[in-house]
Chains A and B, each alone.
Chain A
Amino acid sequence: MDSGPAKRRKLDHSQDGAGKALEAAVSTGGVSRSRAFILEAEELLEEVRIDYKTAFEGADQLLHKIKSSIETIKSQEPLPILEAATKFEKKSKIKIPFPDPQPPKNSNYKVAFAKPSQFNVVGSYVSKTMVKTQKDHSVDMIVVLPQEILQEKDYLDLRYFYKRAYYLAVVASALQKESGDEAELSYEYLNGNPLTPVLAIQPKSPEATDEGSKGRLQYRIRIIPCAPEGFFPKGKLHLGASLVRRGRDTESETPAHPTAFYNSTVAAEGSFLSYLKLLRQTEKKCAAFKKACILGRTWLQQRGFGGDISKGGFGHFEWSVLLALLLQGGQRMGHAALSTSLSATQLFKAQVQFLSVMNFSEKPCVLGAENVDLEEHIESGPILYDYSRGLNVAFKMGHWSAALLHQHAKWTRSLLSDSSADQFTPTFILRADLPSHTFDLFAHLNYSDVLDQVIGNDYSESRGRIWQLGSKVYRVLKRALGDKELGERARVVHIQTPEQPKWSLAEKPKDQTRAALEVGVLFDPVNMSRVVDKGPSAGATAEEKEECDRFRRFWGDKAELRRFERDTIRETLVWKSTTPFEICEEIMRYILALHLRIGHLEDDISFYGNGLAVLLSIKPADTTSYSVARKEFSTFERDIRNLDDLPLRVRQIAPVCPELRHASVKPPVFGSLKSGPRPMDCVISFEASGKWPESIAAIQRTKIAFLLMIGNLLENSKQGVKTHVGLEDAHFETENLAFLDVVYESGPAFRLRIHSDLEESLLERQVKDKTQEQYLRQRATTQLAAFKRLYNNLPLHNQTINTSITLFPALGPTIRLVKHWFNSHKLSIHFTPEFIELVTLHIFLSPYPWDAPSSPSTGFNRVLLFLSRWDWRSEPLIIDSGNELTNSDHFAIVTRMEAWRKIDPGMNHTVLFVATTQEPTGIAWTSLNNEPKPTRVVATRMTALAKAACRVVREEQLLLDPRRLFVPSLKEYDVLIHLDPKALKNAMRTYENVDPAEEVGEGRGSKFKNLDVVTGEDLLPLVAHPAEVLLEQFGKVFGGPLVFFWGGEGDNVVGAIWNPGMERRVLKGGMLASYRPGRQQQEGDGEDKVEVEMNKEAMVGEMARLGGDLVERIEMR
């Protein structure tokens, strides 16, 4: 524990004032974020607090009533168990909830009933640590069994539990008679533990309908029978003891298995009161204890943890006991680990820190004593041992849940130490237990056929056969996927066992064998894509032989000997699949079938989580085509650098397009004959020179001359290179006017633009020049922004993404998926690709409450989650890829955004604010030509779509067909323009020497491709995709009245929405849309104010005329 005494400072939160605030600020590290965290946590505590008076109205009276009715139950003489049971069941029509195995036929021990020796209300009802957001609220009352009906030996062979069940049934029958219709009684397991059924009493509230409005909760009361404190000898209940001897075939031969869980349950039965005492004492000693417990409860709850065995067996009770123990003396050198004067958030952080350091499933953690070695029992389950009470507090946990808890604590710890991230929301608000966001692979095991074969009638595991199967599956998978020797493929393997619902008094507990066992796997993205596993080397020594034997035993026939470099011969596994997901699936199917006989049939195991990747057919081969593109680029760069006669020396050639940073939706392909070459954008910069003319227009012209020269030189020096100087669609002489397309015969093509540093300083000078006319300065500002984007920001952005891709293998595919989503919803026309890439990168750099995603599907889901929650109206998105921004940088960015919002509250110029290390202004990627990109309307639509998608993902979870997330909804659009794919395809081919107007006639005329006059010609490069060209023209012409939505090339339906603000106008010279005379009835009182209304049909007709054969049809709604 790292909270040294230096940090222990008395904090008084009730006092206010600047001095106190400062002290608080300083004592928590002085970082703005952690101060915010404290304030926000306070706010959370306030928000989830329950008003006990109204919420549990009538609970106390009910408890009293129950107590008195239990006290009046008549005592019963001891009877042999079976006799008593049949008699009771016949009489009361209530089943006795005996745990499995049922009491043996020949047993002769006796059960009886007597007045309980003690009643007590325990749990979070008394400590008032319940929260509103809890799933259910229960008031726990323990009923201590009187000593006279128990025997000391009862801890053996479930005898105590039989007696307890009988006792409970008697109480239940009495209470049922008593309560009549006022309450509903049912059995349930305490924390899902099949040994300890309890009675749940749900009062029927008279005003059940408006329950929420009055603040009354739907609480229930649980009657928990338990053993008297210290009745069973502690020494007999240690973790290694074997206390269930019955049920094995022959008692004598095999040494009995230790029954750790059973033992701990017996121990727990006798320690309710001592823990109650412990918690109450701590509450008194430490003022912030309760609050820390509420924070802990919320943290656990958002991660899916709870006291129930199916929820990991670590809930609020375990949290508070652990915290209480840490606050107690006698830890190390007699000191407490934590000081009682810490504040709630500090306690919370300390506890998270503790959990992140201790992994109960790997090393036993003993509290309250030193030198207690429990290492040998770790096999049976995670150990968190409270020495003074003799209980393993973590006894309900499985190895997997302890590992997951450890992992979550680690993630939260790294979040809490990241001062630049929002610490509060991921810690307490976000749900971190959704499998689609958490695990890369999720599988359902259908085990009903194999349960009997694998487990049989083995009842030594009291948690039930399903749990036992689960732990077997875990052990196998952990070994297969988490083998450190081979290189851990999975970071987390998680098992989810089905939950046992409550059942009515007259029935047996519901059979759970139909429910599925769920397995979640979190990949290590690098190791998971490994196709060949190199096992131990086959040497001659006994040790090596042993090693190989073990390997073979585990892996079966899959293990084969192979020879590797340097003549090593090793045991080897070779997997056939290629993608990480498929490899994992293959391994799981193989190993589970081998060891547990699950998965022989295809539908025994169903896998989830790959649907998204399949959708885009993301293959490992894609990576290769991106690398090929990079390699071709290097060739191109070398070719240019090798040109001898250039007047200036080349300083840098930088790629600036998604294809050269692994981020295009489709991997780059070269040399397709279906379209002209698609050049990849690059910029070239030369060493500083005074030769550039001192005029922007002249610089632009000089660039053209330069490009012509480079083209000439390249064509002369290299074989098989064709160059074309192309013209930009520029409006002003001062804009960049031209580019050079270099087409290699082998396929790849590049588009080169020249960077001139003088241009930038000339533009800057124009912007600052106060003597210039306003419109000229405005234009210079726009041009400067465009210049900076193309020549300064884009090359750096390319670099950033490329480095991040090597850091996060899942980043590239995730970006492609997210782009695909933007495309499918026709949003991409409104967003720069760089923006989408940065948003995705943000998810990897600031992945809280998880770790960086290790598969595209988790990454994609989390990007959607982020987009749905991002409040871009008031929050900037800050991406710190190099981890270089200081706190004051962050502060400056936030201030800048606030300033923007103040100037432009309507968000007409700046909408999204995305700042990066290299680009702190925040608007380079979210505005174009002085216009916001996207506009506020579109940004709102993005958020709405992301919200809808997240809702679907959350509701349907694994059953969701991922294709549904990509189906655009067309009903919002007023106009739908259906493009003709055939005409578009045709428009992708143009030739240098053939006029398209004539080509059409001939191309259609000849029936045979090889007779086509055109075929022999070289295709010209494509300036842009024809649909893009058309849309750009539409935008220019109809930019006022219509907003277009289009998903980039491949999307053949363009949606458009009329601008509602332009419906009616006053007629004047020069309007922004086509208008027709308004209806007659409206009377213009002033003659010069004549209203006209938008002539929508005429405009649609115009679009049809412009589009010509490219437009198949236009729908108007």
Chain B
Amino acid sequence: MPSTPPTLGDFTVLPISIPPLPSFPKPTTHYLYLRRNTPKIPTPTDSRSLFLTNCPVDSTDIHLRSLFASLVGPGRFESATFEDERKDTAHKLSPLDAAVPVNAVHLLRAHGSTKKRKREEEEDAERSKEDEAARLPSTWTRPLRRSGSTAVVLLADEKSVEQVLKACAKASKTKKYPEWGAGVADKVPALGSVWVKQHNRLCYPDPATLQQAVDAFSAVFARREKEAAEISKRLRNEPDEDGFVTVTRGGRNAPASRSEAEEARKKMIERAEKKRQEMEGLYRFQLREKQKEEQEELLMRFEDDRKKLEAMRMKRGKFVPEA
């Protein structure tokens, strides 16, 4: 094995030795790359967090905790956030964000926010509670990480960051690589058949739990719908700073369903189409023009065929009968 460089670019390399398995009886080495976390939008905890890339696919909080414990002793590791769990990634939507009526998205974004900002903090707590309630149960006991993905590890203090990076360098120098998953076997859910079976079982959650999640969602959704309705009602009567009154959907009564409107439009188009068809071929010049068009198209296609043939000729052997 070639000796590993302690750093690569601004990353510190941490080799991890992976114990062999009966199905692949060969010890391997995995390389974790660490550096100080410097996100584009700074957060208060940046100074005591580390950015990891190339995490093993079976990483868990517990794995990393044990790994860091073996490097700098226990108690320094606070938490880990994996790539797919980060809030800023647009991949996951919380059910609360989704629980917005389509027609009210813009309204709420534009006009609902002013009200919200005032009580942001108290709402935050409530929000996460609601979110939790509306979330559907997970179907996996243990999520996997995409190969080569990243994580952010939060440590106890700034000093620990320094220590960890030093310990990494030392590990690669002395070739005493920490072992992956040492002593965590009992603490994390198993993989393999148990994991697959548990998935199958978790796919069929208790109906009552499911019902609760749906209800929680509906409650939020109904509230938002009501909010939106109120806002739109308010807007209809209130001129804005420039003195304009926003035109909102719906008359005095409830706003018309958009699907109904679409249906009506479809019908109208159909009617127009029918009328147009009836008028076609009424006059002689129309017929003549149509014929002319058809002929032109024929000609064009004939030329097309010729071109295609030319292309086919390029691919040799197309015209030789098979032996």
Contacts from A to B (Cβ < 8 Å): 18, 21-22, 24-26, 30, 32, 35-36, 39-40, 43-44, 46-48, 132-133, 298, 301-302, 428-431, 676, 690, 693-698, 701-702, 704-705, 708, 711-712, 724-727, 729, 731-734, 737-738, 741, 758, 761-762, 765, 775, 871, 874, 891, 983-984, 986-987, 990-992, 995-997, 999-1000, 1020-1023, 1026, 1029-1030, 1033, 1036-1038, 1040-1041, 1067-1077, 1079-1080, 1087-1090, 1092, 1095, 1097-1114
Contacts and interface: CB of A to CB of B under 8 A. Distances in A.
B214 A701 contact: yes
Contacts of A1103: 24
Interface string B203-228: 11101001100100110010001000
B95 A1087 contact: no
A778 to B, nearest CB: 11
Contacts of A30: 298
Nearest to B202: A727
Contact of B259 (A690, A996, A1071): A690
Given A694-B257, A708-B211, A1080-B2, A1070 B148 contact: yes
Contacts of B51: 1069
A992 B192 contact: no
Given A694-B103, A997-B189, A1020-B200, 10 more contacts: A32-B305, A302-B322, A694-B101, A695-B98, A695-B100, A1000-B194, A1037-B144, A1077-B31, A1087-B9, A1099-B147
B62 interface: no
A629 to B, nearest CB: 23
Given A734-B98, A1071-B53, A1101 B26 contact: yes
A891 B304 CA distance: 11
Contacts of B282: none
Given A36-B308, A708-B207, A1071-B53, A690 B257 contact: yes
B148 A1040 contact: yes
A1108 B146 contact: no
19 contacts: A22-B302, A32-B301, A40-B312, A431-B322, A693-B101, A701-B221, A725-B204, A727-B137, A734-B93, A738-B210, A762-B102, A990-B201, A997-B194, A1000-B194, A1020-B204, A1087-B9, A1097-B26, A1098-B28, A1101-B26
Contact of A1098 (B10, B18, B99, B302): B18
Contacts of B26: 1097, 1101
A767 B205 CA distance: 33
A1038 B56 CA distance: 11
Contacts of A1071: 53-54, 148-149
B192 A1037 contact: no
Interface in B36-62: 51, 53-54, 56-58
Interface string B85-96: 000001111010
B193 A986 contact: yes
Nearest to A871: B315
B146 A1037 contact: yes
B229 interface: no
The interface centre, meaning the residue of A737, A1087, A1107 with most chain B CB atoms within 10 A of its CB, is A1107
A1107 B192 contact: yes
A919 to B, nearest CB: 21
A174 to B, nearest CB: 37
Interface string B294-323: 010011011101101101110100111111
Nearest to B32: A1074
Nearest to B9: A1090
A47 B320 contact: yes
A1076 B205 contact: no
Nearest to B53: A1069
B190 interface: yes
B200 A1113 contact: no
A697 B95 contact: yes
B74 to A, nearest CB: 24
B268 interface: no
Given A694-B103, A727-B137, A732-B93, A1030 B299 contact: no
A1102 B99 contact: no
B262 interface: yes
Contacts of B257: 690, 694
B13 interface: yes
B141 to A, nearest CB: 8
Contact of B200 (A48, A1023, A1076): A1023
B149 A725 contact: no
A1041 B9 contact: no
A1026 B57 contact: no
A693 B33 contact: no
Interface in B134-162: 136-137, 139, 144-150
Contact of B10 (A693, A708, A1088, A1099): A1088
Given A694-B102, A701-B217, A1106-B144, A429 B322 contact: yes
Nearest to B211: A708
A1036 B91 CA distance: 14
A908 to B, nearest CB: 20
A1100 B200 CA distance: 25
A44 B319 contact: yes
A729 B139 contact: yes
Interface of B: 2, 4-5, 8-11, 13, 18, 20-24, 26, 28-31, 33, 51, 53-54, 56-58, 83, 90-93, 95, 97-103, 136-137, 139, 144-150, 189-205, 207, 210-211, 214, 217-218, 221, 225, 257-260, 262, 295, 298-299, 301-303, 305-306, 308-309, 311-313, 315, 318-323
Contact of B309 (A40, A704, A991, A1090): A40
B260 A1037 contact: no
Contacts of B218: 698, 701, 705
Contacts of A737: 136
A26 B99 contact: no
B305 A39 contact: yes
Given A1070-B83, A1105-B191, A761 B262 contact: yes
Contacts of B196: 987, 1026, 1029-1030, 1110
B109 to A, nearest CB: 11
Given A25-B302, A891-B301, A1098 B4 contact: no
A1108 B194 contact: yes
Nearest to A1097: B28
B107 to A, nearest CB: 13
A48 B198 contact: no
B198 A996 contact: yes
A847 B204 CA distance: 47
A997 B313 CA distance: 65
A694 B102 CA distance: 6
Contacts of A44: 319, 321
A683 to B, nearest CB: 19
A711 B205 CA distance: 14
Contacts of B193: 983-984, 986-987, 996, 1000, 1026, 1108-1110
A1098 B16 CA distance: 10
Given A21-B302, A1070-B149, A1110 B192 contact: yes
Contacts of B53: 1067-1071
Q: Which 7 A-B pairs give the minimum distances between C-beta atoms?
A: A1108-B192, A697-B98, A1071-B148, A996-B197, A733-B98, A1104-B24, A47-B319
A1024 to B, nearest CB: 8
A297 B2 CA distance: 70
A36 B311 CA distance: 13
B133 to A, nearest CB: 13
B146 A43 contact: no
A1107 B191 contact: yes
A1078 to B, nearest CB: 9
Contacts of B210: 704, 708, 725, 738
A983 B211 CA distance: 34
B90 A1108 contact: no
B9 A1088 contact: yes
A1070 B148 CA distance: 6
The interface centre, meaning the residue of A302, A1000, A1070 with most chain B CB atoms within 10 A of its CB, is A1070
